[in-house]
A and B are shown apart, each in its own frame.
Chain A
Amino acid sequence: MTAAARAAARPALHEGARPPGVHTRHDVHGDAVLDADVVVVGSGAGGATLAAELAEAGFDVVLLEEGPYYQTRDFTADTSAMVRQLYRDGGATLALGSPPVMYQEGRAVGGSTVINGGMSWRTPDKVLARWEREAGLAGIARALEPCFERVERRIHVAPMDDAAIGTDNRLLKRGADALGWSVIGNLRNQSHCVGSNRCAFGCPTGAKQSALVSYVPRALAFGARIYADVRVDRIMRHGKRATGVIGTVAGSGHRIAVRAKLVALACGAIHTPALLARSGFRSPSGRIGHNLSMHPNVKVVAIFDESVANWRGAHQAFQVRQFQEQGLVFAAIGMPPSVLAMSFPHRGAALGRLMDQYDHMLLAGMLCEDTTTGRVRTIDGRPQAFYQLAPADAANLQRGVSLLSELLFAAGARRILLPFHGAADLSSADDARRLLDRPIEPRGWEVVTVHMMGTAAMGKDRSRAVTDGFGFVHDADRLMVADASLFPTPIGVNPMETIMALATRNAGHVIDHARRFLS
């Protein structure tokens, strides 16, 4: 057998039989009560990291996940099946406002890291300085430094291999270079990504080092137990002390209670505040669910004469950072034809003519650091997000669309379709610049996001923040948060690495005070 054949035959770490320690709904045959030192609710960037760090230190950890357990071999080319299986509510989740903001969350072991693009950026210094200044988180920048290094080592943060970069990203770079704009290679949590461009639908090669193939196996190796398919209904409590959680197993309806000395919530910025609220926890600040930031995102589609084949090559290999100080970051995003078709207002023969050019399409989007906040309300126990795009952010997005279009024309685009209902297509850089001549009513915009943050924000002052500097809920005992809910402000870059670094730091705090938490 040749070395190449042996390599091909050898399964990756995460493939093969379900690893010991992973329990799914098929393993739970009745109501159950479990005991643990720590129960972590949610297995995404924050929950899996916290679970792995605590398990390695010797804590007995139970990790609960609402979604199913999949392995790399389960991730196929069937886009809509992947969306139905990996996304909460099939991706049809909306923050209400005008325009409404469509947001996506992962719902599987590994959480949103299974469906994100894998961008791995440290929290910008200016953001950490702001957290120190405004939220009283003295020393957090220095404290996070080793945590970033540790996370980057664990999830293998690295620039892309050149061979994996596709035409869409090369065109984006070409446009930025032509205009003299700052463009950088994206750092991503990947180990020799080969550009399948399926990041958003579960990496089918195992290259993306999501929590599913990094922190989750690590947690298991150190003895953590994972229960998938369990939706946590409420936190058990004795006065202000959290004593465990109660959840329901999908399908069977069996109940699982986990009694624990420490409860950690990592359900994301939409569901963590809802779980706190329906469990009767109140913050002296009255701010649970407030302070919702979303990094609103709009996209444009450029059509080139040359073949783009946006589905071949690494996802977001570059980021245009020229306007980062103004809160705008641009990237190219490959998407399947079905996702593009649903974003167009066209239909009938016009849709067919447009989609026949799919091979020549480049989809590019932007991340906007928002200046306003929304709120997550809990209605009948379920969260509902409300978010009204601020006029200043709408103006910034409009400027972003203009600049991004200009870049794409510089790269050779011949036509650009806009994310504004009823807007005429652009056919030149002058058209792009003229977009700024008049404001466009945001009501008709298509705004999406995958970055929800801030709804249980950290801060020293319990009258203004929900959690303290280590993620513990003010005015509660043995209850902590370990997800993007903790962010006092939006961070202006992709949030995964910040979530993981905070979880690492806060795990260190628990380990350093183990006697207190294990008593």
Chain B
Amino acid sequence: MTDYQHSPTTAAVLRSLVPVICPPEAHALADAIVAHVALTLGASPPLVRAGLAAGLATYDLGALPRYRRRARHLGPEAAERYFASWERGPTPLHVQLAHAINQLVSLACYEQPEMMERVGYRPGPWIEEVRRTRLTVHGDAARRQEAQILAPDPLRPGARVRPERAARGKEPA
């Protein structure tokens, strides 16, 4: 992972795409969504980051001939039409970029706590509940398994290359 930060262009274009890709109830979370995309890209290979940045810059400028303004400045209807035109073509590269942007922004959108709550996804309390269950109901069995992991069990009976090293294992509790 790196301390990746969006360039101003990348951030602005991504922000303009939030209303195009995310449902209306997520539009107020645009800054958080764009910030989350940065986290994802920070973990991605450098080539992917560079490719996406170049693609977003091209997407931004590509609106000029048709709309006389950059994509980031388009109104809602024009922004929708322009993104849809990339989803349909004109080349496989356009389609792949639109697809990748859709994936990144959708992922970031539904990683927001408000959106997870909206769809009923509450893993934190669930994990706590089942973790407690395991320790209380199955604690003894879990500890037996932990003990057997450390118990000596030579692969070849009597095969100890250096007995003083091999004797380090612990007997089962």
Contacts and interface: CB of A to CB of B under 8 A. Distances in A.
Interface of A: 4, 7-8, 10, 12-13, 53, 55-60, 76-77, 79-81, 83-85, 87, 89-90, 92-93, 150, 153-154, 156, 191-192, 194-196, 198, 204-207, 209, 213-214, 217-218, 221-223, 309, 311-312, 336-345, 347-349, 351-353, 355-356, 358-359, 421, 504, 507-508, 511-512, 514, 518
25 contacts: A7-B139, A13-B150, A57-B159, A58-B163, A58-B164, A84-B40, A84-B43, A90-B42, A153-B148, A196-B127, A196-B131, A198-B127, A205-B127, A205-B131, A209-B145, A222-B165, A338-B107, A338-B110, A342-B103, A348-B19, A348-B22, A352-B26, A355-B23, A355-B110, A508-B155
Given A348-B21, A351-B106, A511-B156, A195 B130 contact: yes
B155 A348 contact: no
A87 B40 CA distance: 11
Contacts of A85: 1
A359 B120 contact: yes
B134 interface: yes
A90 B44 contact: yes
B121 A337 contact: yes
Given A4-B136, A196-B127, A343-B103, 11 more contacts: A56-B154, A57-B166, A58-B160, A58-B164, A76-B124, A84-B39, A89-B44, A192-B142, A218-B169, A223-B168, A345-B99
B28 interface: no
B153 A56 contact: yes
Contact of B119 (A13, A337, A345, A507): A337
Interface in B16-57: 19-26, 36, 39-40, 42-45, 48
Q: How large is the interface on B (under 10, 10 to 19, 20 to 34, 35 or more residues)?
A: 35 or more
B43 A8 contact: no
Contacts of B44: 89-90, 92
A77 B119 contact: no
Given A196-B131, A337-B115, A56 B166 contact: yes
Given A84-B39, A156-B145, A358-B120, A56 B107 contact: no
B169 A337 contact: no
Given A89-B44, A218-B149, A348-B20, A341 B126 contact: no
Contact of B162 (A59, A84, A338, A342): A59
Contacts of A79: 111, 123
Given A58-B162, A351-B21, A92 B45 contact: yes
B97 to A, nearest CB: 14
A352 B39 contact: no
Interface in B92-118: 99, 102-104, 106-111, 115-116, 118
A352 B24 contact: yes
Contacts of B132: 8
B166 A13 contact: no
Q: Which 10 A-B pairs have the closest CB atoms?
A: A352-B23, A90-B43, A7-B139, A58-B162, A192-B138, A58-B161, A194-B130, A84-B43, A358-B119, A338-B110
Contacts of B107: 80, 338-339, 341-342
A178 to B, nearest CB: 27
Contacts of A7: 135-136, 139-140
A56 B25 CA distance: 57
A191 B135 CA distance: 11
A359 B118 CA distance: 10
Contact of A56 (B106, B111, B152): B152
A310 to B, nearest CB: 10
Contacts of A218: 149-150, 169
Contact of B169 (A56, A76, A83, A209): A56
A311 B121 CA distance: 8
B61 interface: no
A194 B130 CA distance: 6
A206 B110 contact: no
A53 B39 contact: no
Given A195-B130, A512-B156, A80 B40 contact: yes
A511 B44 CA distance: 41
B140 A194 contact: no
A356 B21 CA distance: 15
Given A337-B110, A351-B106, A57 B138 contact: no
A340 B166 CA distance: 48
Contacts of B134: 192, 194, 205-207
Contact of A214 (B24, B102, B149, B156): B149
B149 A154 contact: yes
A341 B105 CA distance: 9
Given A77-B124, A84-B42, A194 B141 contact: no
B96 to A, nearest CB: 9
A511 B155 contact: yes
A351 B42 CA distance: 26
Nearest to A61: B165
Nearest to B163: A58
A133 to B, nearest CB: 28
B21 A347 contact: yes
A511 B143 CA distance: 30
Contacts of A355: 23, 110, 115, 119
A339 B14 CA distance: 19
Nearest to B130: A194
A301 to B, nearest CB: 14
Nearest to B134: A194
B170 interface: yes
